[in-house]
Amino acid sequence: MKIGNFDLKKDGTYIISELSANHGRDINIVKKTIKAAKEIGANAVKLQTYTADTLTLNSDKEDFIIKGGTLWDDKKLYELYKEAYLPWEWHKELFEYARSIDIDIFSSPFDKSAVDFLEQFNPSAYKIASFEITDYDLIKYTASKGKPIIISTGIATISEIQDAVDICRSVGNENIILLKCTSSYPAPLEDANLATIPNLAQTFGVVSGFSDHTLGTTAPVVAVTLGAKVIEKHFILDKSIGGPDADFSLDKQEFSDMIKAVRDTEGLLGKVDYTLTAKKKKSRQFARSLYVSKDIKKGELFTEKNIRSVRPGYGLHPKYLNDILGKEAKKSYTIGDRVSF
């Protein structure tokens, strides 16, 4: 599967810098953030496309007041989304800018009108946020556009995940990526359950990845070792910008460190390979092999007293020791001679 020009089979881990609400209500901050993401090696920047009115109702009733131990407790949903949303009139300039510096860009639509709006920019993918995984109509409409569809699974039951996958397939979209996600902000490490990542791929026959809300960079590295092909993490140019998501976002240096750790991890994982490279062959000089450990006259028998398995590795393989013991020497040997057939 490809996202834009990035081949998930051959090109490693696709790393998404999630802008979310980290825009400081200033388009120039967003452009600087996109540029920084490119400079540190992120593969994509992801926007969120909604308004307060497409997400919720402007109501003061108790149901619409945030509670439950979040960073945003006691704030109205409408007020939060009004503060966090990215103006739609910025999208054209941001898509053009990102493409001009050769970094991928796409967005999370939160309703059908956002999908219709984003289609004009021909995004390389669409992302369904965790809290929208139960909006089956949105998933179907988004998947019907034929782009790779990335779905966070943070609040979903296993049956809801299956429903989302089936819906995508029902409209002919097989380019499905499921992200393990813990929908807490920030998410405690003990709630990450990263072992789910390979299980998502196996259970649903899709590509799996990780949308990370933990603090630090440990979780994405572990996720890659477990087979995550996509890593998404909130990115902020500088935490002094503030905003609803600043506390659990990585700044430029932290995000750069995460990318380096992920790339180092990819290098360490490598591939299944038992071949003897030139380096390995050279190192075999320090392996053991069979050598004469005591002078031997022609006609004497080879014994454990005059033949030993020692370093270096230029002599006969030690597996032949028992084949040689008890045999008669056909010539004389001195200590340090290699044993050969």
Q: What is the mean pLDDT of residues 234-256?
A: 90
Please check whether residue 70 lies inside any domain of the structure.
no
Which pLDDT does position 110 carry in this prediction? 97
Please check whether residue 57 lies inside any domain of the structure.
no
- Regarding whether 283 and 262 lie in a shared domain, the answer is no
Q: How many domains does the chain have?
A: 2
Please check whether residue 76 lies inside any domain of the structure.
no
Q: The dihedral of CA 224, 226, 231, 234: what is its sign?
A: negative
- Regarding whether 240 and 158 lie in a shared domain, the answer is yes
- Regarding whether 194 and 303 lie in a shared domain, the answer is no
Please check whether residue 243 lies inside any domain of the structure.
yes
Domain that holds residue 216: 11-50+85-269
pLDDT at 203 over 80: yes
pTM: 0.88
Please check whether residue 196 lies inside any domain of the structure.
yes
User: Whole-angstrom Cα distance, residue 66 to residue 140?
Assistant: 29
- The whole-chain average pLDDT of the chain stands at 94
Angle at 82 between CA 142 and CA 80, to 5 degrees: 100
Instruction: Specify the pairing of strand 176-181 against strand 207-212.
Output: parallel
Which residue has tokens 């881990």?
A: 13
Nearest in space to 167 (alpha carbons), one of 182, 183, 156, 181? 156
- Regarding whether 159 and 201 lie in a shared domain, the answer is yes
- Regarding whether 113 and 43 lie in a shared domain, the answer is yes
Which pLDDT does position 184 carry in this prediction? 73
- Regarding whether 256 and 287 lie in a shared domain, the answer is no
Q: What is the mean pLDDT of residues 108-132?
A: 97
312 in Cβ contact with 289 (< 8 Å): yes
- Regarding whether 292 and 179 lie in a shared domain, the answer is no
Please check whether residue 262 lies inside any domain of the structure.
yes
- Regarding whether 215 and 189 lie in a shared domain, the answer is yes
Which pLDDT does position 150 carry in this prediction? 98
Q: What is the mean pLDDT of residues 224-240?
A: 95
- Regarding whether 302 and 172 lie in a shared domain, the answer is no
181 in Cβ contact with 153 (< 8 Å): yes
- Regarding whether 121 and 260 lie in a shared domain, the answer is yes
Residue 266's pLDDT band, with cuts at 50, 70 and 90, is: very high
- Regarding whether 125 and 240 lie in a shared domain, the answer is yes
184 in Cβ contact with 190 (< 8 Å): no
- Regarding whether 138 and 95 lie in a shared domain, the answer is yes
Residue 219's pLDDT band, with cuts at 50, 70 and 90, is: very high
pLDDT at 183 over 80: no
Among 241, 269, 297, the domain-final residue is 269
Please check whether residue 44 lies inside any domain of the structure.
yes
CATH number for the domain that contains residue 201 = 3.20.20.70
Which pLDDT does position 245 carry in this prediction? 81
Please check whether residue 216 lies inside any domain of the structure.
yes
183 in Cβ contact with 155 (< 8 Å): yes
**3-state SS assignment for residue 82:** helix
